[in-house]
Amino acid sequence: MENTEKNAPRRSLASLVAIFSRKGALILFSLVAAAFLIDGMGVTALREFPVDFGPATYRAIDSSIDWMVVEFAWFFDGISNYIKVWLGALRNFFNWIPWPIVIIGMFYAGWKLTDIKVSSVAGFALLMLGLFDLWESAMVTIAIMTVAVSLSVGLGVPLGIMASRSNVVQAILRPMLDTMQTMPSFVYLVPGIMFFGLGNVAAVLAVVLYSIPPCIRLTNLGIRQVDASVIEAGRAFGSTRFQLLTKVQIPLAIPTIMAGINQTVLMALAMSTIAAMVGAGGLGMDVLRSMGQLREGEAFISGAGIVILAMIFDRFTQGYISKRQQSYKER
């Protein structure tokens, strides 16, 4: 008797599944039959949509963009000139520094952030870039990534802080970030080309748009995950909201924020090859040019250079995160 009562819900569920399965099969069969009937009757009106909004919409978008480019030329020219000056200065600086100084500096930074093994591998990897005649392209890539990542972090961290302080801001940013992280990487080239034309400025803008979402998301997440008891203790000692943010929440969220910056750096490097399609130089341009000329070996080595830079920056940022977490545990 008890077994019968226990099995009753299962039988009811199985009966419902069977009923819905039969209804679903009947509906599917009806739709297929209707499609064959329409095809046999030659009804073409049901094969095409009655209205095509595409051409009018395309013209409206084109007109709007043309209007913005003309009316806000001062704004776009200012951004373009700023990025060009910044990027040119960094490119000249990185190419001016002798390569032994760069390798020694990277070795020292890796030693302080991680350990002697990682720093030695990083120094050797940079040396190999020079031996394969990729040094100048690597420095150009680092200059582009420095500008793009700086802009991503400079915009992403404040937006993440705003999202952590306001549920309304988070609700506004969430669908935007979801959209940005699901769009194909080639789509990010469109805004830069529309407003800045081909060149490094469009490439930097594409890299920024592609790499900024992790920085915003993880900054928001890190601040929201700070223990409420710690915040209450700060309030008990008379801290203001600004003091709680700068002295309590952000320091405790630094490991999570740095994880977001780490992902931003890696995504920026991953975008470098796509950005080369609009005129960005560096290793991405070497990969694109080699692939266009069917030089597989050169394309492989240039792509390996991008991977090497990504691994170096990843290990360095991960080392910084680990040291920061260790310092908090020791307190």
In a domain, 197, yes or no: yes
pTM for the full predicted model: 0.76
In a domain, 322, yes or no: yes
| Of residues 312, 310, 225, the one with CA closest to residue 267 | 310
Spell out the residues 6+ positions from residue 181 whose beta carbon is closer than 8 angstroms to its own: 213
CA gap 215, 138 in Å, rounded: 24
In a domain, 77, yes or no: yes
| Of residues 265, 259, 180, 181, the one with CA closest to residue 221 | 259
In a domain, 251, yes or no: yes
In a domain, 6, yes or no: no
In a domain, 123, yes or no: no
The amino acid occupying position 103 is: I
Instruction: Give pLDDT, residue 6.
Output: 47
Structure tokens at 17: 């599944």
Instruction: Give pLDDT, residue 2.
Output: 46
Cβ neighbours of 152 (radius 10 Å): 28
Q: Which residue has the higher pLDDT, 225 or 294?
A: 225
Domain count across the chain: 1
Instruction: Give pLDDT, residue 22.
Output: 63
Q: Return the SS3 of 99.
A: helix
* Backbone torsions φ then ψ of 225, nearest 5 degrees: -85, 0
The amino acid occupying position 331 is: R
In a domain, 218, yes or no: yes
Residue listed under structure tokens 């977490």: 325
Task: Look up the CATH number of the domain holding residue 314.
Answer: 1.10.3720.10
Residue 5, pLDDT above cutoff 50? no
In a domain, 159, yes or no: yes
Residue listed under structure tokens 């780490």: 262
pLDDT in tens, 96-150: 888 888 888 888 887 877 777 878 888 888 888 888 888 888 888 888 888 888 8
SS3 content of the chain, % helix, strand, coil (to 5): 85, 0, 15
Q: Say what the alpha-carbon torsion angle 106, 107, 113, 116 is, to the nearest 10 degrees.
A: 160
